Structure 1
Amino acid sequence: MPAWFDWPYIPRELEAPLSEPGPSGRAEVIIGPRQVGKSTMLQKLVEGRRHIILTGEDEDDLAILSDPRSYLKLTEEYPYLIIDEAQFIPGIGRVIKRIVDNNRSGSRIFVTGSSSLDLAGGLKESAAGRFNSYQLWPFSLQELAGHSSWIEVKCSMDERLIYGSMPAVVNDPRHAEEYLLDISDAVLYKDIFKLAEMRRPTELTKLVKYLALNIGSVVRYGTMASELGIQNKTIERYIDLLEACCILRVVPSLSRNPQSEIKLGKKIYFYDNGIRNALIRNFSPLPARTDSGALWENLFFTERLKLHAFRRDGTEIFFWRTRTQHEVDFLEAQNGKVAAFECKSSPKTKTTSIRAFERAYPDTPVTIATPGNVDELFA
């Protein structure tokens, strides 16, 4: 497999807001899954400028970050300070607070983590008001189109549905399966095992595979507990950890009419299709699959998530389902307004579920989302 530094650099949308200093010298905190390019993006941002990089996975760097006098001195010497893999730094919230409060030279402070830093170091509690938080995911279709074109993106949709859009996959597609299997086996659970007390790791891996096989389906924790032989509270805790560590996302239902719409039950989606397919060991082409609809639904969700995360517009995503089994895949709620989306492999006439939804919400038309109109959906 070619070395990552031989790959062409694909610009990230997040570079623009990170290029300008934030208000009052705040630290810039970037959270995202492992190996999505957080470090590469920051290295590109500080290229040719005096900087220093410390990582929470290096013992010498951890020693520096445990001594306020040592790390505060760095802001006097370097205009750019990058703290990588910060989830492994004890008390990272207090470290950021001290750095920002004592940053008299106006150095830019960047912090990355592959899990919620609150999980590790109480970031919101200790460093409130001293950082701006951003999210970085695998390449968005918008980023790929900016590097090439929407025509090329549409032509490669089968690859994105099966192999996802992790940087290593996009840059070296010949070794996509090898890379995805390696990361799903060796890297995916690293933060959870390190940051949380994990007494039964086999339970976690069994749960993750179950969830991967049921993307887009309504799941209930009690049902999973019975089927998997895992306690309900344990399942809730594991899913919270998986979400905090940027592996999957839980989507709740939108229920404004308890008599006809379900409130219980959730849907689970993975942040990358390739990771999901690696977990179930299935990279078969779309014509040979029975889950192609679920793959498109998962990709649609992650792309809308990236879009709203970049815009920082506060949009919440739900699904809608009635007690009579009518269902619409996604509802996006923002400032009291709701937009509805139904994922299909190709445009079709309205289904009974869409008609039922439009009767219940006559002011909210349903957009049919297909792989053929990705430029309209995500541009």
Structure 2
Amino acid sequence: MFDFPYIPRALEKQLVTPGLAGRAEIILGPRQVGKSTLLNKLAQGKRHLVLTGEDEDDLAVLADPKSYLPLLEQFPYIIIDEAQFVPGIGRVIKRMVDSNHAGCRLFVTGSSSLELAGGMKESAAGRFNTYNLWPFSLEELAAHTSWIEVKRQIQDRMIYGCCPAVVNEPQHAKQYLLDFADAVLYKDLFKLAEMRKPTELVKLVKYLAYNVGSEVKYATVARELGIQNKTIERYVDLLEACFIIKTVPSLSCNPQSEIKLGKKIYFYDNGIRNALIRDFSPLPVRTDAGALWENLFFTERLKHHAFRCDGAEIYFWRTRAKHEVDFLEVLNGKVRAFECKSSAKSKTTSIKAFERAYPETKVAIATPNNIDVIANDERLTD
């Protein structure tokens, strides 16, 4: 049973029927975004079994093929939760898929990349379909209520984010986010990776939180924090593998005038970012309101494309003359460009510079007032 009204997830439509036949369905995403809730809802009313990588008894079952393979005949649905903690998870999935003659639906969840746990590509290649689940999208919330209500609460989403616990219990949002940032956020990373100096990692995460949406150069960060450049790169890769941050590269078609190797870093949820810097101040008094809107818009586009599994890639654009456009989306060879503004404004010199360089692509202004057109993937207009 669910303690709160269930808010349908866009991913449900893809999971109701199997993807490529005979494969396991793997759902990856940050902790506490509803992966288990989604699968329990999907299996509700059907005979099913849940095994978790955080339970010693379940790990003992998953360690022995003689214990877990017979389960395929007994249960139409089997869910392996927090699979990143299952030793040799790739071999387990391979054996289960190859032995699944009864047509059992096999679902696997992970709050970190299962490659971090090791063995997926080598052991289970061709035996799984992969999906990503993120915190609620504004599109999902609008389908549950309305776009009018979503726009009414847009400042709360910019401050407290879209994690299910925040949406369901807004009165406890601040405490939940602080507790999550202190006790849960790094759980997978500390357990799965060798962290000799976790204080360096925490220092880096806070630095990235304060500089969200800014171009990041590892050498500069290394000098400011006193951490080796290679360590910065490794930590960023691990943070991304554990769904804490997402890096956005620059798109360069003209190396002579455009930045080629730049990176921007965003957090998968605004509320987590604000918890890391201990700032839940109202939007009107904040100096980072623009960065908060940019981070929220980015995550919305990330979710939008993830739900559709369309393969779109997101970049930013910047020239050596410091002209910049926030986001470029490349899909099927076509480019769409977005500039985030807290309110609609006339075109900046950067937008004019981009449209001169790429006359076939117009830059759309994305504001909290026109966020609803994302739902239909329509062209944003200023």
Give TM class, smaller chain. over 0.9
Q: Is the 8 A contact 2:139 2:374 kept in 1?
A: no
Q: Is the 8 A contact 1:303 1:378 kept in 2?
A: no
Q: 2:260: which partner in 1? A: 263
Q: How does 1:175-186 map to 2 (within 5 A)?
A: 175-186=172-183
- Find 1:306's aligned residue among 299, 303, 320: 303
Q: 1:285: which partner in 2? A: 282
Q: Deviations over 1:324-365 (max 9, x none)?
A: 110000000112111100000111100000000001000000
Q: Is the 8 A contact 1:141 1:303 kept in 2?
A: yes
Q: Displacement of 1:8 after TM fit?
A: 1.1
The answer for unaligned runs of 5 or more in structure 1 is none
Matched, 1:221 2:218: yes
Q: Is the 8 A contact 1:304 1:378 kept in 2?
A: no
- Find 2:337's aligned residue among 314, 335, 340: 340
User: How far, CA to CA, are the matches of 1:121 and 1:197 in structure 2?
Assistant: 14
* Aligned-partner SS, 1:249: strand
Residue identity opposite 1:196 in structure 2:
A
CA RMSD of aligned residues (A): 0.9
- Find 1:129's aligned residue among 119, 123, 126: 126
Q: Deviations over 1:5-28 (max 9, x none)?
A: 421110101111101123322100
Q: How does 1:308-323 map to 2 (within 5 A)?
A: 308-323=305-320
Q: Displacement of 1:195 after TM fit?
A: 0.2
Q: 1:18: which partner in 2? A: 15
Matched, 1:352 2:349: yes
Matched, 1:204 2:196: no
User: How far, CA to CA, are the matches of 2:364 and 2:375 in structure 1?
Assistant: 13
Q: Is the 8 A contact 2:270 2:295 kept in 1?
A: yes
Q: Is the 8 A contact 2:344 2:367 kept in 1?
A: yes
User: How far, CA to CA, are the matches of 1:119 and 1:291 in structure 2?
Assistant: 33
Aligned length: 376
Residue identity opposite 1:154 in structure 2:
K
> Aligned residues: percent identity?
75
Residue identity opposite 2:199 in structure 1:
T
Q: How does 1:1-379 map to 2 (within 5 A)?
A: 5-379=2-376
User: How far, CA to CA, are the matches of 1:284 and 1:119 in structure 2?
Assistant: 36
* Aligned-partner SS, 1:317: strand
User: How far, CA to CA, are the matches of 1:343 and 1:22 in structure 2?
Assistant: 35
Q: Displacement of 1:172 after TM fit?
A: 0.2
User: How far, CA to CA, are the matches of 2:101 and 2:38 in structure 1?
Assistant: 26
User: How far, CA to CA, are the matches of 1:100 and 1:120 in structure 2?
Assistant: 19
* Aligned-partner SS, 1:371: coil
